Amino acid sequence: MYIKLVSSDGHEFIVKREHALTLGTRKAMLRGPEIPSCVLSKACTYFTYKFCYTNSSTVIPEFPIAPETALELLMTVTFLDP
Amino acid sequence: MASFPPRVNEKEIVRSRTIGELLAPAAPFDKKCGRENWTVAFAPDGSYFAWSQGHRTVKLVPWSQCLKNFLLHGTKNITNSSSLRLSRQNSDGGQKNKPREHIIDCGDIVWSLAFGSSVPEKQSRCVNIEWHRFRFGQDQLLLATGLNNGRIKIWDVYTGKLLLNLVDHTEVVRDLTFAPDGSLILVSASRDKTLRVWDLKDDGNMMKVLRGHQNWVYSCAFSPDSSMLCSVGASKAVFLWNMDKYTMIRKLEGHHHDVVACDFSPDGALLATASYDTRVYIWDPHNGDILMEFGHLFPPPTPIFAGGANDRWVRSVSFSHDGLHVASLADDKMVRFWRIDEDYPVQVAPLSNGLCCAFSTDGSVLAAGTHDGSVYFWATPRQVPSLQHLCRMSIRRVMPTQEVQELPIPSKVLEFLSYRI
């Protein structure tokens, strides 16, 4: 099962439903703020990263975030998941 | 005297999973001292693990082989027998930098170790110094050893050969650290109350002496962006130095006894210090505030008791690479793993006579060295960090607290970014 998240600049991100529901995304889908694609794409990558490495015995790799994206991403996530 | 706060049920704290141990070979003679393992270290690229085996020797093992060995042969691994198996397995030659075990005889008691690697773009120099050939090639990996008589010997990790002998300290070199930016700047901390800055790319030229300590210097650590150095020592000393101008930025006050270990978080926003006063403090190095206190003795000792022999000295502290966990070793025979947002440990493991600890390069293993020259390894508590924390680390890597305070963001986010939640 997949859901579609759309960024403010029209990028569509199709992610697995079970991955995305970890992060207030339900809220975002209903009446969410406009999220730019650079931020939304990073969030989607994080969903998969989290799903993959939670409760796994392999070494968890680093998840790099560029500083320019990080602040906006932090604000977005804090808004969605206070 | 309790080891945990009263509201915590000691039996409910998770025990860490042991991964393995490297036991020191039996000593050729029975000596009371000289066997101690004062220091353990992992190479920055995770290729090697080194520890001072006592009796003036340092052992270097290729780390991934060592880990494989633990998995294959169970948790016990006597070093002598393992080395034979490893060398036979690697008999298919041809590889240029085939990692090999080395035992290095340093000629004097080894108190400190540090790995340094050069960043390829920053070097290309071929120097002959007296009887040593010293060339920085692509894959240069160095091991610096600090000795009892104040000398520092620099070894090539791949060949086990001595490259440089740095002579200037007059007393035990208690700690060594390389700048993380690959410039091969080495800082040494000594019982002669000074720290010295050496440029290994310039023949090991000593660039600067940092004076200010009134007593033994126990440990030093660079901030991840190489701009700051923390040095800690006897008489409650915690100093922060600016490493562009080599001036002292500030003294951090709060401990009641000798401060013996320090480590920065991977984003440089936090500094952990361990002291004989039974505490680990987590500071904001940019303004000197104490953010967290990790106690090892309950009820917390009064300053007079904390300042003396209280049987609960904390010997070592290390920050994990996820920036969320801290490990500490104390004299109550326990290793504690802490989260930076809780004031009681999330995991513990038994360890007698622990002296030093270090996280592996990928953060998955903690190594601890003991009084008898052995090393023990545990799996570290790991979990996927929250997206908020990953963002915080990315921002704090480039922004000190003062700049964070100026950001036009809600106060809740500001507190979070300043690690005040």
- Give the DSSP H or E segment for B42: strand B40-42
B10-76+99-383 adopts what CATH topology? Methylamine Dehydrogenase; Chain H (2.130.10)
Among B173, B157, B235, B232, which Cα is nearest to B206's?
B173
Q: Which of B267, B390, B404 to mutate to test the interface with A (most CBs of A within 10 A)?
A: B390
State how far the Cα of A31 lies from the Cα of B105, in Å rounded to an integer.
68
* pLDDT at residue number B199: 93
On the 0-12 / 13-18 / 19+ scale of CB atoms within 10 A, B288 is middle
Query: Across the interface, which of A23, A43, A50 has its CB nearest the CB of B384?
Result: A50
**How many beta-carbon pairs under 8 angstroms link A with B?**
59
Q: B176, B98, B94, B93: which is closest to B142 by C-alpha?
A: B176
Nearest chain A residue (CA) to B266: A62
What is the length of chain B?
421
pLDDT at residue B339, rounded to an integer: 94
Are B185 and B139 in contact by the 8 Å Cβ rule? The answer is no
- The chain B residue lying nearest A81, using CA atoms, is B388
Closest CA to B156 of B3, B274, B48, B5: B48
Structural tokens at position A65 = 């975030």
- pLDDT at res. B86: 37
Task: Work out the burial of residue B199: count CB atoms within 10 Å of its CB; fewer than 13 is exposed, 13-18 middle, 19 or more buried.
Answer: middle
d(CA B55, CA B28): 10
Q: Tell me, what amino acid is at B264?
A: F
β-pairing verdict for B347-350 and B14-15: parallel
**A44 Cβ contact partners less than 8 Å away, ≥ 6 residues apart:** A5, A13, A15, A20
- In Å, how far is A19's CA from the nearest CA of chain B? 14
- pLDDT at residue B75, rounded to an integer: 52
Residues in chain A: 82
Neighbours of B170 (CB within 10 A): 12
Reported in sequence order, the residue ranges of B137-226 that DSSP labels E, i.e. its strands, are: 141-147, 151-156, 162-167, 173-178, 185-190, 194-199, 205-211, 217-222
Query: What is the widest separation between alpha-carbon atoms in chain A?
Result: 38
Residue A26: its pLDDT value, please? 63
Rounded to whole angstroms, the Cα distance separating B252 from B80 reads: 45
Report, in this order, helix, strand and coil percent for chain B, each rounded to 5: 15, 40, 45
Residues 6+ apart with CB under 8 A from B136: B118, B123, B124, B125, B126, B184, B201
d(CA B212, CA A57): 47
Kindly report the number of other CB atoms within 10 A of residue B175's CB atom. 29
Q: How far apart are CA B1 and CA B328, in angstroms?
A: 18
Residue B64, phi then psi, degrees to nearest 5: -65, -35
Residue B386: closest C-alpha in chain A: A50
B413 vs A: CB within 8 A: yes
B395 in reach of chain A (CB within 8 A):
yes
* Extents of the domains making up chain B: 10-76+99-383, 386-420
The pLDDT of residue B123 is: 35
B271 neighbors B325 (Cβ within 8 angstroms): no
Q: What is the pLDDT of residues A24-54, one digit of tens each?
A: 666 666 556 688 999 999 999 998 999 999 9
Secondary structure class of B230 (helix, strand, coil): strand
Residue A80 touches chain B, beta carbons under 8 Å:
no
pLDDT attached to residue B235: 95
B111: amino acid identity, one letter: W
The alpha helices in chain A, defined as continuous H runs, are: 17-20, 25-31, 37-53, 67-80
Side-chain half-sphere exposure of B230, counting CA atoms within 13 A: 29
Burial B213-236 (b: 16+ CB within 10 A, else e): beebbbbbbbbbbbbbbbbbbbeb
Taking CB atoms within 8 Å and a gap of at least 24, the contacts of B66-69 are: B66/B20, B66/B22, B67/B19, B67/B20, B67/B365, B69/B20
Query: Which of A54, A65, A78 lies closest to B390 in CB terms?
Result: A65
User: pLDDT 10s per residue in chain B (421 long)?
Assistant: 788 988 888 888 889 989 998 887 766 555 556 678 889 999 988 899 999 987 788 999 999 999 888 888 765 544 443 333 333 333 333 344 567 888 999 999 999 999 998 754 333 333 333 333 445 555 678 999 999 999 999 999 988 899 999 999 999 999 999 999 888 899 999 999 999 999 998 889 999 999 999 999 999 999 999 999 999 999 999 999 999 999 999 999 999 999 999 999 999 999 999 999 999 999 999 999 999 999 999 998 999 988 988 889 999 999 999 999 999 999 999 999 999 988 899 999 999 999 999 999 888 999 999 988 899 999 998 889 999 999 999 999 999 999 999 999 999 999 999 999 7
End-to-end alpha carbon distance in chain A: 26
pLDDT of res. B269: 97
- A65 neighbourhood in chain B, CB within 8 Å: 390-391, 394
Structural domains in chain A, CATH included, are 2-80 (3.30.710.10)
Query: Residue A31 has what pLDDT?
Result: 53
Q: Are B231 and B193 in contact (CB under 8 A)?
A: no
Interface contact B305, partner A, CB < 8 A: no
Identify the CA nearest to B115 among candidates B148, B154, B167: B154
Question: Is the Cβ pair B394, A66 closer than 8 Å?
Answer: yes
> With an 8 Å Cβ cutoff, is A71 touching chain B?
yes
